[in-house]
Amino acid sequence: MAEHEAAREQALDAAERLFYGRGIQAVGMDAVRDASGVSLKRLYRLFPSKEALVLQFLRRRDERWRQALARHVDAYTAPDDRLLAVFDRLHTWFCEPDYRGCAFVNSFGELGGVSAEVADQARRHKQAFRDYLAALVEDSGLPAELTDQLFLLAEGAITTAAITGTAAPALHARTAARLLVRAHRQHAPAVPDSVP
């Protein structure tokens, strides 16, 4: 029954491409069928409803997005490089040809007011990203207040890149991040008193 898994993946691939590119409500199940080659009957056996497909799409996207970020960050070892690598990853993301912002922000805007589950997915995704940033900040020996500041820069860059259609916001966010890191170091300098 690997057939089953393959169809599931095809369906989710198509759903992701369509939902992300055109918005969720603008995409019918017929469009998912046409794009995936998975018949309606099978679609409804794999996912009990469109809402289930949407939530699955969001779950998978969250996982993959965070994996891609971590993979990029893990190419660096120096804590400060790792912090800034987040913004490099944003830059390459923004350069993808059909970049259209954060799927979770978009879904939240479209359905957050009407579907509690979608709103929850968005909250969880952002929370996970913030937690990840917090760990990087702590590894750098920087104060925790920096986390939210960097998070806001990243978040702002994500939506600004989408709306303006350019990747420059990643660079602006990166410079701002460097300035903030430096500012925080000046008030509570180098720090590392590890291994007491």
Partner DNA sequence: CAGGGGTGAGAACGAGCGTTCTCGCCCCTG
Partner DNA sequence: CAGGGGCGAGAACGCTCGTTCTCACCCCTG
Residues that bind DNA (CB under 7 A): 7, 25-30, 37, 39-42, 44-45, 49-51
Kindly state the greatest CA–CA separation across the chain: 63
Residue matched to tokens 């998070």: 151
Residue matched to tokens 């998912």: 32
Least gap, CB of 196 to DNA (angstroms): 58
Convert 154-182 into a string of H (helix), E (strand) and C (coil): HHHHHHHHHHHCCCHHHHHHHHHHHHHHH
Check binding of 157 to a second copy (CB under 8 A): yes
The tokens of 154 are what?
A: 């990243």
Least gap, CB of 29 to DNA (angstroms): 4
Least gap, CB of 75 to a second copy (angstroms): 24
CB 163 within 8 A of CB 70: no
CB 86 within 8 A of CB 174: no
Check binding of 33 to a second copy (CB under 8 A): no
CA atoms of 59 and 180, how far apart (whole Å) = 32
Residue 109's binding partner, choosing from a second copy, DNA, none, with beta-carbon cut-off 5 to 8 A by kind? a second copy
Among 52, 70, 78, 179, binds a second copy (CB under 8 A): 179
- Residue with Cβ nearer DNA (12 or 136): 12
Check binding of 39 to a second copy (CB under 8 A): no
Check binding of 159 to a second copy (CB under 8 A): yes
HSE-CB for 139 with a 13 A CA cutoff: 17
Check binding of 134 to a second copy (CB under 8 A): no
- Closest to 158 measured CA to CA, from 73, 93, 110, 74: 93
Among 45, 113, 135, 191, binds a second copy (CB under 8 A): 113
Check binding of 28 to a second copy (CB under 8 A): no
Torsions phi, psi for 24 (to 5 deg): -75, -50
* Interacting residues with a second copy (CB under 8 A): 21-23, 25-26, 100-101, 104-114, 119, 122-123, 126, 145, 148-149, 151-157, 159-160, 162-164, 168-169, 172-173, 175-176, 179-180, 182-184
